[in-house]
């Protein structure tokens, strides 16, 4: 007669029961899905068990409680480790959810998604991103604490823990973020490195054999430790305690683990890392653990009871935090109100009342007019925080009198990212996840370095503001390597990213208004280096039309248009200049400023049709970049003055003329279109 499951497990300690519960759930879920990565969850189960039951301050019943410690699984391919421990700890994740791992519509997707699964802090998957997100969280928590703390710093400064993998540490974005973290002395950051010597292709000896990770991180300014066996709970606990005690540096703990720990035949193999073990191997592994082979997804009651103590402890953590915050609020009512507004995502009353207005006498690059708008907002919105990738002298994003964020001044609002565009954008995502409104700036061409992080900001619908300048060949002498061509089109292809390319100073101001209030995803401002004329708004439509993505800037009075000229950014002036020349030839002309495709797409059909009447098929788009994204708006009967080749070096006026971005050329192309 077979023993009951509880009797089969009687020889295991409570710790072993809990750890093996994680392993078995991971094995069974991956096997049932026939997809996923069981190895890392099995190898790092002891670490996750200790973190969630002994070290993390968290409340499974309120995953968004501010005072919680943050946990990031940067090695997102090991998602079943996180799902298992969240279920076991009492988060709103059921055993049925575990059984639906990697299935359509489930709360347990292949990689962790913060908008799907309670307890998942950030969307990870592309390796290195979670590493950068955690650094961003630590930066933001330091900044918030510096603003609000009055003696009790633990009230406003939770800690950030992460599990990172070999793959994370190979990715360059992690190196960028690690260097910043060490420079800033982020003592609230504790990463545990799963040193399992395996990647998808096989042993790390193939590509990662000579690097001493601990020495590398020491060189970055991190505190490092090593634990030689992931199953040595006492050593892991001591290492975590030491890391918590180090408050002037971030900490890395190297933990030597074995992929697929306990799997008799597949320890330390890429096969265990990247796919299901197979039914027979699962059975043998359970027998090795002394675990019942049936039923699947079996969790002993003792283990579940032990894990669920997290619920009771979490309630006490939050109750104590609330008690301390209430006392703080009585002594600091205005600061407490500010803090509550931060958590709610509310902007202060009158936040936009100082926004500048410009006249036709002003001739400014939109990077400059946008900067003036940013400064006016920053004076009233303290949560605006960030900086440039070593290009503030070109992007003008420094907050005046904001001070530099540094290890001796976490209250500073200007964060110097150095020449680390990718690290910057991964960090911005972590900052946004705390409630601050982060700004990051560089040249538009360098979004090539940032795309993975920008895409994840869009997936998570984070309120990140990107300020990317030098938006066209109009930057001039730096030439093809710095002149964006395909970038506007490539960025428009990212779902839920709102790209805005303002045409003049007042549109740049309105672009900032949208950037502050649009909370359904990141906003990118694409701004000019060269000066642009400011339209006389007494003669053309108000710049507030920018909020609708496209609007009729000016048109021939009293007649339906024979042709519609549509442009963005610096090229709108060409359309405006071409209008009177075409009118002299007897044509009625409508000029549409279209700073944002995405905002225009969100308008109802009646508004879109009022701007671009479907009956008018003579449409000419003008933009100093790739033409691909414009065909939706001009149709097959329209035309595009664009650029589908790389630029060249020279004074910007000469470069623009060379590539036919002139009023005369726009008129010529319009007449060709009208003659069809």
User: Can you tell me the distance from the alpha carbon of 518 to that of 461, in angstroms, rounded to the nearest whole number?
Assistant: 10
User: Can you tell me the distance from the alpha carbon of 45 to that of 194, in angstroms, rounded to the nearest whole number?
Assistant: 11
Q: What is the DSSP letter of 55?
A: I
One DSSP character per residue, 446-486 reads GHHHHHHHHHHHHHHT---EEEEE--SGGG-TT-TTTS-SS
CA distances from 310 to 192, 618, 654 (A): 21, 66, 67
Question: Among the options 271, 368, 421, 623, which is catalytic?
Answer: 421
User: What region does 495 belong to: left with phi over 0, alpha with psi -120 to 50, or beta?
Assistant: beta
User: At 432, is the secondary structure helix, strand, or coil?
Assistant: helix
Counting Cα atoms < 13 Å in the Cβ hemisphere of 553 gives 32
Sign of torsion, CA 419 420 422 427?
Answer: negative
* 601 counts as catalytic: no
Q: Are 58 and 52 in contact (CB under 8 A)?
A: yes
Sheet holding 589-593, edge to edge: 551-555, 589-593, 563-567, 619-622, 639-641
Residue labelled with tokens 């953590």: 317
Chain centroid to CA 285: 38
Residue labelled with tokens 């619908």: 461
User: Can you tell me the distance from the alpha carbon of 402 to that of 407, in angstroms, rounded to the nearest whole number?
Assistant: 15
Q: Are 73 and 82 in contact (CB under 8 A)?
A: yes
**Long-range contacts (CB closer than 8 Å, 24 or more residues apart) made by 346-351:** 347/381, 347/516, 347/517, 348/380, 348/381, 350/380, 351/377, 351/380, 351/381, 351/516
Q: Are 223 and 193 in contact (CB under 8 A)?
A: no
Angle at 602 between CA 598 and CA 608, to 5 degrees: 100
CA distances from 195 to 18, 209, 308, 578 (A): 22, 12, 29, 64
User: Can you tell me the distance from the alpha carbon of 618 to that of 565, in angstroms, rounded to the nearest whole number?
Assistant: 9
CA distances from 509 to 260, 352, 592, 598, 616 (A): 55, 10, 18, 18, 31
Tell me the three-class secondary structure of 397-429, residue by residue.
CCCCCCCECECCECCCCECCCCCCHHHHHHHHH
User: Can you tell me the distance from the alpha carbon of 370 to that of 372, in angstroms, rounded to the nearest whole number?
Assistant: 5
Beta strand ranges found along 50-175 (DSSP E): 70-73, 160-165
Q: Are 591 and 620 in contact (CB under 8 A)?
A: no
**Which residues, other chains included, contact 14 with Cβ-Cβ below 8 Å and sequence gap of 6+?**
302, 303, 306
Pairing relationship of beta strands 70-73 and 160-165 according to DSSP bridges: parallel
- Of 322, 330, 283, 399, the closest CA to residue 28 belongs to 283
Chain centroid to CA 367: 23
Q: H or E segment at 96?
A: helix 95-99
What residues are annotated to the active site?
Answer: 421
């Amino acid at each position: 007669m077979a023993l009951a499951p509880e009797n089969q497990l009687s020889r295991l300690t409570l710790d072993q029961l809990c750890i093996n519960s994680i392993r078995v759930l991971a094995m069974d879920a991956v096997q049932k899905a026939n997809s996923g990565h069981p190895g890392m969850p099995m190898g790092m189960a002891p670490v996750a068990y200790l973190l969630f039951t002994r070290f993390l301050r968290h409340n499974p019943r309120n995953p968004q409680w501010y005072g919680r410690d943050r946990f990031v699984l940067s090695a997102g391919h090991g998602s079943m480790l996180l799902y298992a421990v969240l279920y076991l700890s009492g988060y709103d994740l059921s055993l049925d959810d575990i059984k639906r791992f990697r299935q359509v519509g489930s709360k347990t997707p292949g990689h962790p998604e913060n908008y799907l699964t309670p307890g998942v802090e950030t969307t990870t998957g592309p390796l290195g991103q979670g590493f950068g997100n955690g650094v961003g969280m630590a930066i933001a928590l330091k900044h918030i604490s510096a603003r609000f703390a009055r003696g009790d710093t633990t009230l406003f400064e939770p800690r950030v823990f992460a599990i990172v993998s070999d793959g994370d540490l190979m990715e360059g974005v992690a190196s960028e973020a690690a260097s910043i973290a060490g420079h800033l002395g982020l003592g609230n950051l504790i990463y545990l490195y799963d040193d399992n010597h395996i990647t998808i292709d096989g042993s790390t000896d193939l590509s990662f054999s000579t690097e001493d990770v601990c020495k590398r991180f020491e060189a970055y300014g991190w505190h490092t430790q090593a634990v030689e066996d992931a199953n040595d709970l006492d050593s892991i606990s001591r290492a975590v305690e030491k890391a918590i005690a180090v408050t002037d540096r971030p900490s890395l703990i190297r933990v030597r683990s074995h992929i697929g720990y306990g799997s008799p035949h597949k320890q330390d193999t890429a096969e265990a890392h990247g796919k299901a073990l197979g039914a027979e191997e699962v059975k043998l592994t359970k027998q090795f653990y002394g675990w019942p082979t049936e039923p699947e997804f079996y969790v002993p009651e003792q283990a579940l009871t032990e894990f669920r103590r997290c619920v009771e402890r979490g309630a006490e953590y939050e109750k104590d935090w609330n008690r301390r915050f209430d006392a703080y609020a009585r002594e600091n009512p205005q600061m407490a109100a500010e803090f509550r507004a931060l958590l709610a995502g509310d902007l202060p009353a009158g936040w936009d009342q100082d926004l500048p207005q410009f006249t036709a006498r002003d001739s400014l690059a939109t990077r400059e007019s946008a900067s003036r708008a940013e400064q006016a907002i920053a004076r009233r919105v303290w949560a605006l925080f960030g900086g440039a990738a070593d290009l503030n002298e070109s992007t003008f994003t420094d907050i005046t009198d904001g001070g530099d964020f540094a290890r001796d001044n976490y209250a500073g609002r200007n964060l110097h990212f150095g020449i680390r565009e990718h690290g910057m954008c991964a960090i911005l995502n972590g900052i946004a996840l705390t409630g601050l409104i982060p700004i990051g700036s560089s040249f538009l061409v360098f979004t090539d370095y940032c795309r993975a992080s920008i895409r994840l900001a869009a997936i998570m619908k984070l309120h990140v503001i990107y300020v990317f300048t030098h938006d066209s060949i109009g930057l001039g002498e730096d030439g093809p390597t710095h002149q964006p061509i395909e970038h506007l089109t490539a960025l428009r292809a990212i779902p839920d990213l709102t790209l805005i390319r303002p045409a003049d100073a007042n549109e740049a101001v309105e672009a900032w208004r949208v950037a502050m209030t649009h909370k359904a995803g990141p906003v990118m401002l694409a701004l000019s280096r060269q000066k642009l004329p400011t339209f006389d708004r007494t003669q053309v439509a108000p710049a507030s039309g920018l909020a609708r993505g496209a609007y009729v800037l000016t048109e021939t009075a009293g007649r339906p248009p024979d042709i519609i000229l549509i442009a963005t950014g610096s090229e709108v002036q060409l359309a405006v200049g071409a209008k009177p020349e075409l009118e002299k030839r007897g044509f009625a002309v409508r000029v549409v400023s279209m700073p944002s495709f995405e905002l225009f797409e969100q308008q109802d059909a009646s508004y879109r049709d009022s701007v671009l009447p479907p009956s008018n098929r003579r449409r000419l788009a003008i933009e100093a970049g790739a033409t691909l994204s414009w065909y939706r708006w001009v149709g097959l009967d329209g035309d595009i003055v664009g650029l589908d080749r790389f630029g060249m070096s020279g004074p910007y006026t000469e470069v623009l003329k060379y590539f036919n971005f002139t009023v005369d050329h726009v008129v010529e192309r319009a007449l060709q279109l009208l003659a069809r």
